[in-house]
């Protein structure tokens, strides 16, 4: 089935708010095999919205709108959908009761605008909104399925996952399953090159590469008449990808960070850890501490930004700093040893480097970072040459440091989907 | 003038990439007084793109496309624009030379697809792309202005700022100036309520509230025949806003973080600082260290996640931890005093709290955070009750801690636009 997404809201046209609703909806639809061919953003203007809806009803089977369901006079999406379809707006008693309850709880009175929220196009099936006053609705007119949703992402997320997707899934005789393969240590083009035979050869399952904020991913997807069959098709296909990418795969599962993988391993194996940071300035410990339960193994983090603080708190010898300077293999190693010793941990991870934009030299350019690692008496050092601005160099250094720890400890490729 | 943005790219319809180009373009256009009425996303499909362009040429004066200028067969934006306008694609010798240079530098050969990148619609004015092989172009056909840009955000950003905006500004007899007012310490609805008289009363200058990742902002905008007159209109208007919001304004300027404001003050006044973090786990020092030049004043950061490490490294007495527990006013204060002492700094900032999702009790719920502050012998403590998940609570705690420091030190409301 062909779907179309229409995001209504003048604020989106003003360029201060990024349209994450369109992305979210497109992805959810893709995961049940529905293709989106058009996405449009339009202001709170009845005439332009009507023109757009008219085209959409012609060219797409499923039309999903977001926004324009609020209590103000600008909010006209439901009314415009009804007008375009040529149906009346009908008052819904149940909705009024819901609104009364919400406003009683808020100790406020319902105004005229709120009463308008209780009207829906004739024949619409109401979709409950547990996070706001604007309910959504579904209208089937024989030719089109029109789904009308509110604007705030936190309101539509549960509505889509709990109601819209199960509703739309019924129209398909195929079930889709997917697996996100999280990749690190190689660039996008090398990753693509290596898995190209699988991208090209396969119709089902499919494999597609994406570049995300958290890093590179591959999404493998299979479809079949039932979920179990699709899963059985997907498993060997994912194994094929694993053969091609090896340890550059760090885990399986949606929206995974490197720290969640490393943190899980540390907690499962009761390995205590401390950090000693210079150029990453606390971001490495900040990443580790983002994992719930990490207090079991994370003890102490040091941000030693000056040479003096490296000596005073980590016991890095002044002579070593004088001889090799702070950004060096030797100091990275000494920082890790020092942190493990003073914090009394099994493992210590250190960073020292030049984040820029100033401070680089020909020998030690901006982006040069040394990662030091101490694991139960043994030490390891990795040299990185990172690209980007100050913020990016620091974020990448954190990720690379955690990846260095992962590879050194031989952390298994967890499948986080299997936890649930 | 009415503008329309068309983003071309199947990857956008698949929901793995958020469309930040549309947001960026809309904002840049708004700042020179051009309104965007339609934004559309469409796949790499010539027929659908042609239909969309045909509608766009009818209803909008300025049409900006992004994407579809690459060397693959899918990339058809320029060809489709030419076909819709009924003009030929013309080979450009200068572009070929540019491409040859780039490929020589990359030590690769030009392929047929790359040669296609040297063709442009007849009459097009080429826009140089310093960050990629795909140049953009501008076509004026008397009725419409069509601007064709590549897809990658890092490529279009300089092209828009350096070429497109100055080009479009010439069509307007009005000059627009704007000022971003950065707000903290109050919620969106309270901010709106307080400045509502200004939002409602004014046509020029205008005032609009936005909720951004870095916090709340108000954008004040004025237009006049020349820039100086517009600036003179804007200044007293911004003063009016300042009267209404007082110290809840922390600075003026685009994309400002709280740490950039506090960091500037610390550096200007040679005030040294250290941090002692529990629940924020290094993110506070990580925020401060993101400012270039901060090594002048930032000395050491401690992430003391366990009671033992608070005692060992910050000298927080065991008796105090036993009596009041780690998440307490007393321990926050002792952590700040301890950090300032051991790191020998003028100022120390500490955090201790419950980031969740586990660990909360009735007396000390998830979101309870104490911020401790030591400034040259004096101490201050602030109690926070924060909402959100683990990540949000920690990010908000960092911001609130920095704001507490800002207010305690009476940091001036810097205007960062005036630096340039």
CA proximity to A45, closest of B27, B400, B55, B35:
B35
Domain that includes residue B19, residue range: 2-171
Of residues B192 and A77, the one with the higher pLDDT is A77
CATH number at residue A278: 3.90.950.20
Residues 288-307 of B with CB under 8 A from A: 288-290, 292-293, 295, 298-306
Residue B418 lies in a domain: no
Name the domain count of chain B: 3
Q: Identify whether residues B126 and B230 lie together within a single domain.
A: no
Q: Which of A40, A281, A290 sits opposite B391 (nearest CB)?
A: A290
Cβ of B286 within 8 Å of Cβ of A282? The answer is yes
- Whether the per-residue pLDDT at B80 is higher than 50: the answer is yes
Between helix B77-85 and helix B46-59 the angle, nearest 10°, is: 50
In the sheet that B62-66 helps form, which strands lie side by side, from edge to edge?
A: A125-127, A136-140, A145-149, A62-66, A2-8, A35-42, B35-42, B2-8, B62-66, B145-149, B136-140, B125-127
- B12 close contact with A: CB closer than 8 A: yes
CB-based contact A247:A410 (threshold 8 Å): no
Residues 351-380 of A with CB under 8 A from B: 356-358
Percent of chain A surpassing pLDDT 90:
78
Q: Identify whether residues B267 and B231 lie together within a single domain.
A: no
Cβ of B13 within 8 Å of Cβ of A19? The answer is no
CB-based contact A15:B26 (threshold 8 Å): yes
Q: How many CB atoms lie within 10 A of CB A123?
A: 15
Separation between Cα atoms, residue A338 and residue A352, nearest integer Å: 14
Residue B415 lies in a domain: no
Q: Which of B12, B16, B20 sits opposite A18 (nearest CB)?
A: B20
Cβ of B41 within 8 Å of Cβ of A39? The answer is yes
Pairing of strands A35-42, A2-8: parallel
Q: From chain A, pick out residues whose CB is under 8 angstroms from the CB of B48.
A: 37-38
For residue B324, which phi and psi values (nearest 5 degrees)?
-105, -15
Largest CA distance in chain B: 84
- Whether the per-residue pLDDT at A207 is higher than 50: the answer is yes
- B48 close contact with A: CB closer than 8 A: yes
Q: From chain A, pick out residues whose CB is under 8 angstroms from the CB of B39.
A: 12-13, 19, 40-42
CA distances, A120 to each of A87, A134, A151, A178, B261 (Å): 10, 11, 17, 36, 49
Q: Identify whether residues A115 and A208 lie together within a single domain.
A: no
Residue B419 lies in a domain: no
Please tell me the predicted confidence (pLDDT) of residue B25: 97
pLDDT band for position B87 (cuts 50, 70, 90): very high
Q: From chain B, pick out residues whose CB is under 8 angstroms from the CB of A210.
A: 11, 16-17
Q: Which of B37, B283, B309 sits opposite A286 (nearest CB)?
A: B283
**Which residues, including other chains, have CB under 8 Å from residue B207's CB and lie 6 or more apart?**
B195, B198, B199, B218, B219, B220, B221, B237, B241
Cβ of A282 within 8 Å of Cβ of B303? The answer is yes
- Whether the per-residue pLDDT at B138 is higher than 50: the answer is yes
Shortest CA distance from A357: residue in chain B: B292
Q: What is the per-residue pLDDT across A361-419, written as a single tens digit (0 to 9) for each?
A: 999 999 999 999 999 999 999 999 998 888 889 999 999 999 999 999 999 999 998 86
Cβ of A305 within 8 Å of Cβ of B306? The answer is no
- B25 close contact with A: CB closer than 8 A: yes
Cβ of B300 within 8 Å of Cβ of A301? The answer is no
CATH number at residue A69: 3.40.980.10
**Which residues, including other chains, have CB under 8 Å from residue A187's CB and lie 6 or more apart?**
none
Please tell me the predicted confidence (pLDDT) of residue B200: 85
Q: From chain B, pick out residues whose CB is under 8 angstroms from the CB of A15.
A: 22-30, 36
Q: Identify whether residues B104 and B44 lie together within a single domain.
A: yes
Q: Identify whether residues A302 and A224 lie together within a single domain.
A: no
Residues 306-335 of A with CB under 8 A from B: 306, 308-309, 312-313
Question: What is the end-to-end Cα distance of chain A in Å, rounded?
Answer: 30
Q: Which residue has the tokens 């994370």?
A: A298
The structure tokens listed for A111 are: 């105004």
CB-based contact A372:A379 (threshold 8 Å): yes
Q: What is the per-residue pLDDT across B239-283, written as a single tens digit (0 to 9) for each?
A: 999 999 999 999 999 889 999 999 999 999 999 999 999 999 999
- d(CA A90, nearest CA chain B) in Å: 30
Last residue of a domain, one of A222, A252, A282: A252
Last residue of a domain, one of B171, B187, B210: B171
Q: Identify whether residues A210 and A274 lie together within a single domain.
A: no
Q: Identify whether residues B324 and B302 lie together within a single domain.
A: yes
According to DSSP, residue B415 is labeled B
Q: Identify whether residues A157 and A241 lie together within a single domain.
A: no
Separation between Cα atoms, residue B50 and residue B57, nearest integer Å: 10
Q: What is the per-residue pLDDT across A145-203, written as a single tens digit (0 to 9) for each?
A: 999 999 999 999 999 999 999 999 998 888 999 999 999 998 888 898 899 999 887 78
Size of interface A-B (CB pairs under 8 A): 229
pLDDT band for position A139 (cuts 50, 70, 90): very high
Q: What is the 3-state secondary structure (H, E, C) of chain A?
A: CEEEEEEECHHHHCCCCCCHHHHHHHHHHHCCCCEEEEEEEECCCHHHHHHHHHHHHHHCCEEEEECCCCCCCCCCHHHHHHHHHCCCEEECHHHHHHHHHHHHHCCCCCCHHHHHCCEEECCCEEECCCCCCCCEEEEECCCCEEEEECCCHHHHHHHHHHHHHHHHHCCCCCEEEEEEEEECCCCHHHHHHHHHHHHHHCCCCEEEEEEECCEEEEEEEEEECCHHHHHHHHHHHHHHHHHHHHHHEEEECCCCCHHHHHHHHHHHCCCCEEEEECCCCCHHHHHHCCCCCHHHCEEEEEEECCHHHHHHHHCCCHHHHHHHCCCCHHHHHHHHHHHHHHHCCCEEEEEEECCCCCCCCCCCCCCEEEEEEEECCEEEEEEEECCCCHHHHHHHHHHHHHHHHHHHHCCCCCEHHHCC
Please tell me the predicted confidence (pLDDT) of residue A420: 47
Q: What is the per-residue pLDDT across B332-345, written as a single tens digit (0 to 9) for each?
A: 999 999 999 999 99
According to DSSP, residue B114 is labeled H
Q: What is the per-residue pLDDT across B370-387, written as a single tens digit (0 to 9) for each?
A: 999 999 999 999 999 998
Last residue of a domain, one of A228, A252, A276: A252
Q: Identify whether residues A154 and A180 lie together within a single domain.
A: no
Please tell me the predicted confidence (pLDDT) of residue B72: 83
- Whether the per-residue pLDDT at B420 is higher than 60: the answer is no
**Which residues, including other chains, have CB under 8 Å from residue B388's CB and lie 6 or more apart?**
B367, B396
CB-based contact A78:A90 (threshold 8 Å): no
Q: Which of A212, A289, A300 sits opposite B309 (nearest CB)?
A: A300
Separation between Cα atoms, residue B413 and residue B411, nearest integer Å: 7
Q: Buried (b) or exposed (e) across A240-272, using 16+ Cβ within 10 A?
A: bbeebbeebbbbbbeebbbbbbbbbbbbeeebb
| Count helices and strands in chain B by DSSP H and E runs | 16, 17
Residue B414 lies in a domain: no
Q: How many CB atoms lie within 10 A of CB A4?
A: 22
Cβ of A282 within 8 Å of Cβ of B289? The answer is yes
Q: From chain B, pick out residues whose CB is under 8 angstroms from the CB of A394.
A: 286, 289-290
Cβ of B302 within 8 Å of Cβ of A306? The answer is no
Indicate the SS3 state at residue B215. strand
Q: Which of A281, A289, A357 sits opposite B285 (nearest CB)?
A: A281
Q: How many CB atoms lie within 10 A of CB B195?
A: 21
Residues 94-153 of A with CB under 8 A from B: none
Q: Identify whether residues A247 and A263 lie together within a single domain.
A: no
Please tell me the predicted confidence (pLDDT) of residue B17: 85
Residue A369, CA atoms < 13 Å, CB-side half-sphere: 29
Q: Identify whether residues A269 and A339 lie together within a single domain.
A: yes
Separation between Cα atoms, residue A137 and residue A79, nearest integer Å: 12
- d(CA A39, nearest CA chain B) in Å: 5
- Whether the per-residue pLDDT at B289 is higher than 70: the answer is yes
Least confident interval from A42-56, A152-166, A316-330, B211-225: B211-225
Separation between Cα atoms, residue A285 and residue A58, nearest integer Å: 54
- A171 close contact with B: CB closer than 8 A: no
Q: Identify whether residues A163 and A237 lie together within a single domain.
A: no
Cβ of B277 within 8 Å of Cβ of A280? The answer is no
Cβ of A303 within 8 Å of Cβ of B300? The answer is yes
Q: Among A5, A6, A11, A14, which would you mutate to test the B interface (most chain B Cβ atoms within 10 Å of its Cβ)?
A: A14
Residue A74 lies in a domain: yes
Q: From chain B, pick out residues whose CB is under 8 angstroms from the CB of A280.
A: 286
Pairing of strands A368-375, A378-385: antiparallel
CA proximity to B87, closest of B45, B137, B42:
B137
CA distances, A323 to each of A316, A317, A333 (Å): 12, 10, 14
**How far is CA A72 from its chain centroid?**
32
Q: What is the per-residue pLDDT across B95-130, written as a single tens digit (0 to 9) for each?
A: 999 999 888 888 888 888 888 899 999 999 999 999
Q: From chain B, pick out residues whose CB is under 8 angstroms from the CB of A299.
A: 305-306, 308-309
Percent of chain A surpassing pLDDT 70:
99
Residue B416 lies in a domain: no
Q: Among B12, B289, B307, B392, which would you mutate to test the A interface (most chain A Cβ atoms within 10 Å of its Cβ)?
A: B289
Q: Which of A43, A285, A293 sits opposite B303 (nearest CB)?
A: A285
Cβ of A313 within 8 Å of Cβ of B309? The answer is no
Residue B357 lies in a domain: yes
CA distances, B105 to each of A150, A188, B98, B99, B108 (Å): 51, 20, 11, 10, 8
Q: Which of B22, B37, B394 sits opposite A19 (nearest CB)?
A: B22
Q: Among B3, B282, B304, B353, which would you mutate to test the A interface (most chain A Cβ atoms within 10 Å of its Cβ)?
A: B282
Cβ of A290 within 8 Å of Cβ of B17? The answer is no
Residues 226-245 of B with CB under 8 A from A: none
Shortest CA distance from B273: residue in chain A: A305
Cβ of B313 within 8 Å of Cβ of A309? The answer is no
Separation between Cα atoms, residue B132 and residue B70, nearest integer Å: 10
Residue A419 lies in a domain: no
Cβ of B295 within 8 Å of Cβ of A277? The answer is no
Q: Which of A300, A306, A357 sits opposite B313 (nearest CB)?
A: A300
CA proximity to A66, closest of A4, A34, A21:
A21
pLDDT band for position B203 (cuts 50, 70, 90): confident
CB-based contact A314:A342 (threshold 8 Å): yes
């Amino acid at each position: 089935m062909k779907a179309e997404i229409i995001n209504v809201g003048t604020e989106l046209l003003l360029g201060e708010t990024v349209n994450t609703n369109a992305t979210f909806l497109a992805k959810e639809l893709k995961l049940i095999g529905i293709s989106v061919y058009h996405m449009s953003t339009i202001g709170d203007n009845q005439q332009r919205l009507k023109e757009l809806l008219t085209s959409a009803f012609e060219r797409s089977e499923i039309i999903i709108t977001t926004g324009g369901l609020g209590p103000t006079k600008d909010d006209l999406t439901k009314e415009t959908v009804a007008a375009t379809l040529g149906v009346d707006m009908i008052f819904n008693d149940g909705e009024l009761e819901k609104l009364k309850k919400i406003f009683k709880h808020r100790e406020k009175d319902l105004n005229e605008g709120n009463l308008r929220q209780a009207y829906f196009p004739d024949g619409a099936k109401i979709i409950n909104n547990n996070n706001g006053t604007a309910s959504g609705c579904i209208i089937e007119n024989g030719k089109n399925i029109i789904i009308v949703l509110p604007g705030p992402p936190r309101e539509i997320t549960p509505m889509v996952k709990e109601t819209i997707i199960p509703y739309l899934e019924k129209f398909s005789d195929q079930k889709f399953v997917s697996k996100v393969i999280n990749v690190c240590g190689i660039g996008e083009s090398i990753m693509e090159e290596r898995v190209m035979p699988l991208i090209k050869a396969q119709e089902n399952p499919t494999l597609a590469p994406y570049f995300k904020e958290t890093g590179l991913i591959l999404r493998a997807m299979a479809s079949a008449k039932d979920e179990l069959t699709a899963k059985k098709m997907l498993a060997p296909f994912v194994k094929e990808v694993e053969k091609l990418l090896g340890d550059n795969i760090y885990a399986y599962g949606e929206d995974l960070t490197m720290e969640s993988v490393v943190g899980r391993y540390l907690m499962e194996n009761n390995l205590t850890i401390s950090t000693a940071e210079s150029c990453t300035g606390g971001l490495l410990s900040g990443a580790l501490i983002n994992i719930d339960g990490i207090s079991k193994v994370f003890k102490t983090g040091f941000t030693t930004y000056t040479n003096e603080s490296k000596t005073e708190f980590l016991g890095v010898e002044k002579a070593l700093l004088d001889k090799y300077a702070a950004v060096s293999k030797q100091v990275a190693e000494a920082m890790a040893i020092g942190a493990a010793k003073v914090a009394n941990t099994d493992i210590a991870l250190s960073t020292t480097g030049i984040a820029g934009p100033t401070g680089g030299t020909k020998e030690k350019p901006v982006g040069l970072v040394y990662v030091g690692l101490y694991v139960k008496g043994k030490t390891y050092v990795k040299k990185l040459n990172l690209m980007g601005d100050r913020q990016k160099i620091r974020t990448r250094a954190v990720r690379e440091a955690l990846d260095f720890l992962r590879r050194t400890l031989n952390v298994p490729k967890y499948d986080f989907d299997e936890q649930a």
